[in-house]
Amino acid sequence: MIWQFIMNVDLHCHTTASDGSLSPAELLQLAEQRNISMLSITDHDTLDAYSQIDQLDLPLRLIPGIELSSKWRKIGVHIVGLNIDLQDPTIIAGAALQTKTRRDRAEKIAEKLAGMGFKNTLDAARARALGGQIGRPHFAEHLVAIGAVKSSQQAFKKYLGAGKIADIKACWEDIETVTGWIKAAGGTAVLAHPSKYGLTRAKLTALIGDFKDAGGEAMEVISGQQTPALTVDLASLSVKHQLLASCGSDFHRHHTPWAALGRVAELPDNCIKIWSRW
Residue 112 sits in a domain whose CATH number is 1.10.150.650
* Residues 247, 224 share a domain: yes
Dist. CA 239–CA 110, nearest whole Å: 44
Residue 4 lies in a domain: no
**C-alpha span between 26 and 22 (Å, rounded):** 6
Residue 248 belongs to domain with CATH number:
3.20.20.140
- pLDDT-derived band at 218 (thresholds 50, 70, 90) equals very high
Euclidean distance between CA atoms 142 and 58, whole angstroms: 35
pLDDT digits (tens, 9 = 90+) for 107-152: 999 999 999 999 999 999 999 988 888 889 999 999 999 999 999 9
Same domain, 198 and 271: yes
Q: Which DSSP symbol is given to 158?
A: I
Distances (CA, A) of 25 to 30, 202, 211: 9, 42, 33
Cα separation, 110 vs 31, in Å, equals 35
Q: 0.75 cut: is pTM over it?
A: yes
Domain that holds residue 71: 9-94+171-277
Residue 70, SS3? strand
In degrees, to the nearest 5, what angle opens at C-alpha 63 toward C-alphas 59 and 65?
Answer: 135
Residues 19 and 144 in one domain: no
User: Rounded to an integer, what is the distance from CA 20 to the centroid of its chain?
Assistant: 10
Q: Identify whether the C-beta of residue 214 lies closer than 8 Å to the C-beta of residue 176.
A: yes
Region 168-174: mean pLDDT is 90
Number of domains in the chain: 2
